[in-house]
Amino acid sequence: MAEALDPPRAPPPPLGLLIALAAFGPMSIDLYLPSLPRMMQVFGTDVSHVQLTLSVYLAGFALAQLVYGPLSDRYGRRPLLLAGIVIYGLASVLCFCAVSVQMLILARFLQALGACAGPVLARAIVRDSFARDQAARVMASMASVMALAPAVAPMVGGHLLVLFGWRANFALLIGFSLVMLLLIGLALRETNLHPNPHALHLSTLVRNYFSLLGNRSFMGYCLTISFTFSAMFAFISGASFVIIGLLRVAPEHFGYCFLGVVAGFMAGSIIAARLGHRLGLEGMVAAGALIGLAAGLALLGLVLAGRVSVVSVVLPMAGIFLAAGIVLPNCTALAIAPHARIAGSASALLGFIQMSVASLMGGLVGRLDNGTALPMAAMVAGCVALSALVRWRLAGDGRAG
């Protein structure tokens, strides 16, 4: 529901804390990517089952957002963050103790139920504290710094794997959860100054979600975000099997290849933060969608031509991540800005759809695995094409809120 009047805003929390909250996602996904081929051997399983530890994580992440959003609209952002991080820490202990791939898959699902509190409520906190255009710049600034997490995490994870084994990755995540509990307890004040007493009423929830689902511009931005993120996740799902398994890059060097890709996201986020006020949010999204489409088609063309190498994979993917760095913060601001009093619910629904679509696409990469780079490249190219199409048909028609 769009609100005609913007309510008074809370004082903004420290930017570093918002970045750390948003980092729960990339830390929990990217840290153990170099370990996936090794875990396949340890558990005596195949690519699709190990890949499920990624897709099931996103599925749990998606479902939990539908709970955190309304609860935070009713009871505030801070208590929900604290509860989510406790769940995350306990689930990380279960991941560390896993003795089978099935146990790890279950633990990853539970881990996601806690992890999603960070990024989902960070978006709502930004909406609580900043106006629309400023929120887009803050999100872009967060993304540009937060991009260090997926850049550094695989490098750290690769060296932890070589030195201490795959369980060391989850030991680090346990420590991360403890530090975040301390920081939130000390540095975060409540930003939801206008709790909605009706946010948990079933009729209110249904009305809010159906209102958002029926809003053409919201759904346009939401699906643009979803397919853009899915292109990234399709690569993440298949990257270690292509780069380590197919191209024979050592696990401890995988992170450096991933760094080349993530550098594109960092560049895109910096561009979004610095040029957004000149080109406008819509103009930035349009430019990002076209860059992503060109890079996706280049990747697919190179793979179909049999030119599969570290360079032919990393360079086009850097272009796609650059496009994502431009599209995601601007689209997120455009999607959530008109829905001030249900920002938590809007953020939750956006995240639910985004993660659900990405989980499906990532699962397909694992299911279609044939020992080549084609399933990953085809899924990446298909997702950026759908992102550009949706933006053109739904989000980019001038009816944005």
Q: Residue 154's domain is classified under what CATH number?
A: 1.20.1250.20
- Looking at the domain assignment, is residue 141 inside a domain? yes
Q: Each residue of 189-218: pLDDT tens digit?
A: 888 877 778 777 788 778 888 889 988 889
CA distance 398 to 213: 18
Domain holding 86, by residue range, is 15-189+201-395
User: Shortest CA distance to 47 belongs to which of 245, 288, 326, 275?
Assistant: 245
- Asked if residue 10 is part of any domain, the answer here is no
Q: Tell me if 400 is assigned to some domain.
A: no
Residue labelled with tokens 């696409």: 361
DSSP string for residues in 337-379 = TT-GGGHHHHHHHHHHHHHHHHHHHHHHHHHT--SSSHHHHHH
> Does any domain span residue 1?
no
Evaluate whether residue 60 is within a structural domain.
yes
Helices first, then strands: H and E counts in the chain:
16, 0
The answer to the question of residue 82 being in a domain is yes
Residue 8 domain-assigned (yes or no): no
Task: Give per-residue pLDDT as tens, 224-240.
Answer: 999 999 999 999 988 88
Look at the chain and report how many structural domains it folds into.
1
Q: Report d(CA 313, CA 299) in Å as an integer.
A: 7
State both tokens at 42. 């340890």
pLDDT digits (tens, 9 = 90+) for 310-343: 999 999 999 999 999 999 988 888 888 778 777 7
Cβ distance 261 to 314 under 8 Å? yes
Percent of the chain with pLDDT over 90: 42
CA–CA gap between residue 114 and residue 86 (Å, rounded): 7
Provide the mean pLDDT of the chain. 86
Cβ atoms of 172 and 160 closer than 8 Å: yes
Q: Which residues contact 352 (CB under 8 A, 6 or more apart)?
A: 62, 63, 65, 66
Residue pair 234/376 in contact by the 8 Å Cβ criterion:
yes
Q: What is the pLDDT of residue 224?
A: 94
- pLDDT, tens digit, for every residue of 2-15? 444 455 666 777 88
Does the pLDDT of residue 144 top 70, yes or no?
Answer: no
Q: Is residue 195 part of a domain?
A: no
Answer whether 29's CB lies under 8 Å from 56's CB: no
Mean pLDDT, range 133-138, rounded to an integer = 76
Model confidence pLDDT, tens digit, residues 17-39: 888 888 888 789 889 999 999 99
